[in-house]
Amino acid sequence: MVEAISVIIIIFALFAWSRALLRFKDKKIKGSEFSFWTLIWLSVLVLSLNPELAGLISFKLGIERPVDLVVYSSVLLLFYLNFRIYVKQEKTEQEITELVRELALRKK
């Protein structure tokens, strides 16, 4: 019997994955990025359909409660995504600077 919360998570995961697919089709994200998100949402789907799997993995990893495994993985994922956003922001900043520089040099 699938719990209501699992249904909500599954629907959300499918929705989020469909967004990633659309962005990939529009060539707004790369194949590697699409694979990354597919892996993430697929893992969420599998764990929602088989909650006992989370218990098994957390047991193997020495984590007492399966919910802790989910929390730890989420924190790690958020840190990683935050880092990627920083990197992207830094790149964008450099591109803006380069544009501003070219404008300054062209006007002269």
Partner 1 sequence: MNISVLIPAFNEEKKIGEVVRKLKAQGYGDVVVIDDGSEDKTGIVAEKEGAKALYHVINRGQGAALKTGIKYCLRNGADIIVTFDADDQHSPEEISKLVEPIINGETEICIGSRFLKNTTNAPFVRRLFLRGGALLLSRMYKLNLTDSHNGLRAISKSAAEKINLTADRMEHASEILEQISKKNISYKEIPVTIRYTEYSLNHGQKSWDAFRILYRMLFRRLIR
CA distances from 87 to 15, 90, 95, 101 (A): 27, 5, 13, 21
The least CB distance from residue 57 to partner 1, in Å, is 30
Cβ neighbors of 6 (< 8 A, separation 6 or more) are: 48, 49, 51
- Asked whether 84 and 92 are in contact (CB, 8 A), the reply is no
**By the rule CB under 8 A, 100 interacts with partner 1:** yes
The CA-based diameter of the chain, rounded to the nearest angstrom, is: 72
- Interacting residues with partner 1 between 58 and 87 (CB under 8 A): 83, 86-87
What's the min distance (Å) between Cβ of 31 and partner 1? 23
Q: Which is nearer to partner 1, 68 or 90 (CB)?
A: 90
Per CB under 8 A, the list member of 1, 27, 52, 104 interacting with partner 1 is 104
User: Which residues make up the interface to partner 1 (CB under 8 A)?
Assistant: 83, 86-87, 90, 93-94, 96-97, 100-101, 103-105, 107-108
